[in-house]
Structure 1
Amino acid sequence: MMEHAHAVLRTILTINSYRLIFLKPRVASWRYQRGSRSLAANLQQSQPVETKAAISVNDEDDHDYDVPEEIEEVLNEILQALRDKNREVQYSTAKGIGRLTSRLSKNFADQVIESIMELFSLWESDMAWHGGCLALAELARHGLLLPQRLSSVLPFMEQAMLYDELRGNFSVGSAVRDAACYLCWALARS
């Protein structure tokens, strides 16, 4: 069983590296950027620090950017790895999704977020909820989860913080609650 998990992990890591080859290195012009990160500096200012989403000078780059078909296919497969039973595989997948999304256009990144949010259904397992929280946290950490999306993400985060599923004479959900706390921390930091 452990050997299978290592094989899956190596496959995920290889796919994450491979798919970045198809996308040109760039920082997402649309990502969220906030003001000063220093609490002392913020307190010394007489007016509140305004936060805003970054606005690209070259907005046409975002519209002209074409995602290779290979990336779409691989991304659909890699999103399935967020449901894996191995936490290391889930975390590596979430990190890879964060790196990949930073190279995508805003519209395509929004589709990735929609796909991740589909993991938060009542019919999904605790593994899917855990992987979804990790992926959203990685996106938030990199400024890829824009403020407009918070209204749809926060209800899922609240549900994940209270996640508890009875199975026989025990319950599962502590990993989901931990991942939801990580998401909360990532949102607070970005």
Structure 2
Amino acid sequence: MGVRLTRDAVRRALDAVPREGFLPASARTAAGRDAPIPIGHGQTNSQPRTVETMLRLLDVQPGQRVLDVGSGSGWTTALLAHLTGPDGWVRGVELVPELAQWGAENLAATSLTWASISPVVDDVLGDPEHGPYDRILVSANARSLPDELVEQLADGGRMVIPVNSRMVVVERRGGEARTSEHGAYRFVPLR
């Protein structure tokens, strides 16, 4: 039953946070396409079906603390904030400073004030200073599972991350990390 509720919550989030507001003005007419859309700096706004799958795998619950790595245009950060609700907290981090600023501006145009986006600090992966996190979403392909992100997960936490083009779910319990794979996907490189 929990999965069904999550799917309904994810669908409500996708309906409540239109993709158009997180695309360059010249690309907004393509917002309904189920395809990645370039947003500049070699980055893309991910394919909606892929985002939906990742959010379902992440299983975000109201009130959770969530980290969004590779927040880009801010769309996934806003979707995550919708899922956590105002009792939660979402922090997006982005490697490209110009995209972090643009994503923060896009996010500021919403009423999701419990979410924020910042540029990556000193090339640190994730945001260990504000962790641990109940959930971590990574929207860039890692060559191997980054231990530094696993360490930022709270006990009972879950991370969804593409690793070598395979979607991986990491669950952390008692200092141990269990992983499972959920299909093949293409993403820009993590670093």
Q: Normalised by the shorter chain, which TM-score bucket?
A: 0.3 to 0.5
Higher relative contact order, chain-length normalized (CA < 8 Å, sep 6+):
1
Specify the structure having the higher radius of gyration (Cα).
1
Structure with higher strand content: 2
Please state which structure has a larger fraction of its residues in helix.
1
TM, length-normalised to structure 1: 0.32
Q: TM-score, normalised by structure 2?
A: 0.32
